[in-house]
Amino acid sequence: MTSALAPLYRPAFRALWIAQFASNIGTWAQTVGAQWLMGDLGGTAFEVALVQTATTLPVFLLVVPSGALGDILDRRRVLMAGQALMLAGSAALMLLASTPAWLLALIAVVGVGQALSMPSFQAIQPELVPREEIPQAALLNGANMNVGRALGPALGGALIAAAGPEAAFAFNTVSFLGVLLVLWRWRRPSDHRPLGAEHLVTAVRTGARYVRSSPLFRRVLWRCVAFTVFAGALWALLPALARGPLGFGASGYGVLLGSVGAGAIGGAFLVPRLLTRFGKNVLVTIASCVFALAMALSTLTTNVPAVIVCMLLTGACWIAVLSTLNATAQILVPAWTRARALAFYQLMLMGGQALGAAVWGAVADSFSLRAAMIAPAAGLVVSVLIAARTVPLTSRKLDFTPVTMWDEPPELDDVAAGPVLVTVEWRVAVADHPSFVAAMSKVERSRKRTGATMWGLFRDTDDPELHLETFTVATWQEHLRQHVERGTVNDLEVQRAARSLAMEAPRVRHLIWASS
């Protein structure tokens, strides 16, 4: 069994992890500083709430195109650009945040930098550690974020008390320097792009098509939403729980956040053992149910030690679920589309939490805090039990090593020409027809994952042994990418399974749209 700390023995991962830890603390300290400054500037309660909106809205709007940029450009440079933008926004907060409007605008700038960085940060993890250590890397990154969530607000409060909100902004500004230094020193291997970079719009569409045509990856997305929509109620309502039934002040709230962080650290050490024993699907199911139980119990008692134990459990279960989903998502996508596919994962993760926060916050206002904690706990148990049966997480190990799958296509000067229709004639014995159709259903997904927009399989009525596969690709260059950039060993195995049923080598034809 791989040690939970194994990735920290990798110099590049360790350096980035330490720098990111300081940055996570700075980010949460800045959030506290921004909310406090909004009050100092005379902002209304609505404007204080808009601080969180200004942070998250750019991520919702830009995370998917940012993921595409992470695939078509050098991810290291994309990360550095995002970190530099966040540094500039934080520095400007110290100097220019003199009105509520300026404060929100500058926070949004930081949010744009975060959106630019998130997909590429996830996508480089397989470049920092071996494949077998990706689950441990996801755990450590999750613990990093949760501990930062626990320490950041406390540090932010101390800095505000000592020197004002500007001190929190200054700390966050300096924290980005460490990340930039690590990225600048990291010598990432250059990407192999024989056909050059894709256009941004095409890259986004291709990423969405890949997600639609990857059932195993879609399972991760569904499990993510099924968990976060309900579990997100805890983070949205934890401040209300601290102020209301528990009667805590700011320091007491910090104790609850610290308990969550401590639970996350403990979970990071336990999860590798539990994964070995139970597997992904069972672990996520059990951890989700324990999270739901702890969330419900935390609002049914005012006993402080009991609530702290509940927070320890939620921290451990939160990291167990999301680190497992995150690691699974990372190993289910090939390098050529990793950043944009993981951007959809980030979109589901943040979207689920945002939706849950809005729904359960409304329930708390309309009914009671207790109802708004118990109802999502019950919903979480029901949803996770259904998801465990209908969209189970896979433990299959897919090989996404790049390969050239087919023979070279004919040369064409105009690579922008299209659409392209590709036809493949398969001759298959009548007795093998059912097996062939089943094998070709996997070929269909492979074609669409790599760029096909439409696909069909037809059988000749005059010659029952003859099958015609057809698929279209937007341009000739997109088809070339299918040949030389996007194929993997997994796709090759799918092709071989179909070819093993053919009586002879299939005949391929390429047709270009005959424009008038």
Cβ neighbourhood burial of 431 (10 Å; 0-12, 13-18, 19+): exposed
Give the relative orientation of helices 75-96 and 165-185 as an angle to the nearest 10 degrees: 160
Q: Coil, strand or helix: which one is 44?
A: coil
Q: Coil, strand or helix: which one is 395?
A: coil
Q: Coil, strand or helix: which one is 279?
A: coil
**Residue 455: strand pairing partners:** 471
Q: 82 near 73, Cβ under 8 Å? A: no
Cα(391)–Cα(222) distance, integer angstroms: 8
Classified by CATH at the fold level, domain 420-512 comes out as Alpha-Beta Plaits (3.30.70)
Geometric angle at alpha carbon 314, from 312 and 317, rounded to 5°:
110
How much is the pLDDT for 49?
56
Among the listed residues 363, 348, 357, the one whose alpha carbon sits nearest the alpha carbon of residue 53: 357
How much is the pLDDT for 360?
84
Among the listed residues 484, 191, 250, 241, the one whose alpha carbon sits nearest the alpha carbon of residue 364: 241
Classified by CATH at the fold level, domain 1-130+148-197 comes out as Growth Hormone; Chain: A; (1.20.1250)
The CA–CA distances, whole Å, from 175 to 10, 106, 118, 421 equal 22, 17, 17, 52
The DSSP secondary-structure symbol of 502 reads B
How much is the pLDDT for 380?
95
Among the listed residues 108, 105, 87, the one whose alpha carbon sits nearest the alpha carbon of residue 97: 105
Cα(5)–Cα(371) distance, integer angstroms: 40
Range(s) within the chain of domains with CATH label 1.20.1250.20: 1-130+148-197, 198-396
Range(s) within the chain of domains with CATH label 3.30.70.100: 420-512
Torsions phi, psi for 396 (to 5 deg): -65, 140
Cα(373)–Cα(230) distance, integer angstroms: 9
Cα(476)–Cα(421) distance, integer angstroms: 10
Place of tokens 């596919």: 341
How much is the pLDDT for 250?
62
What is the rounded end-to-end Cα distance, in angstroms, of the chain?
63
3-state secondary structure 168-223: HHHHHHHHHHHHHHHHHHCCCCCCCCCCCCCCHHHHHHHHHHHHHCCHHHHHHHHH
Cα(307)–Cα(349) distance, integer angstroms: 26
DSSP sequence for 308-352:
HHHHHHHHHHHHHHHHHHHHHHHHTS-GGGHHHHHHHHHHHHHHH
Classified by CATH at the fold level, domain 198-396 comes out as Growth Hormone; Chain: A; (1.20.1250)
Among the listed residues 391, 406, 395, 394, the one whose alpha carbon sits nearest the alpha carbon of residue 451: 406
pLDDT per residue rounded down to tens, the chain (516 residues) = 566 788 888 888 999 999 999 998 988 888 778 877 877 787 665 676 567 677 778 888 889 999 989 888 888 999 999 999 999 999 998 888 888 888 888 988 998 999 999 899 888 888 888 888 888 888 888 888 877 877 887 787 778 778 888 888 899 999 999 999 999 998 877 766 667 778 888 889 899 999 999 999 999 999 999 999 999 888 778 877 887 888 877 667 777 877 888 888 888 888 888 888 888 999 999 999 999 999 999 999 889 999 999 999 999 999 899 989 988 998 888 988 889 999 999 899 888 887 887 788 888 878 888 898 999 999 999 999 999 999 998 767 788 888 876 667 777 777 778 799 999 999 999 999 999 999 999 999 999 999 899 999 999 999 999 999 999 999 998 888 888 888 889 999 999 999 999 999 999 999 998 864
Cα(284)–Cα(325) distance, integer angstroms: 8
Give Cα 126 to chain centroid, integer Å.
14
Q: 472 near 454, Cβ under 8 Å? A: yes
**Residue 488: strand pairing partners:** 402
CB contact set of 400 (below 8 Å; sequence gap of 6+): 333, 334, 335, 488, 489, 490
How much is the pLDDT for 127?
86
Q: 474 near 418, Cβ under 8 Å? A: yes
Count the Cβ atoms, other than its own, within 10 Å of residue 396: 9
How much is the pLDDT for 516?
45
Q: Coil, strand or helix: which one is 461?
A: coil
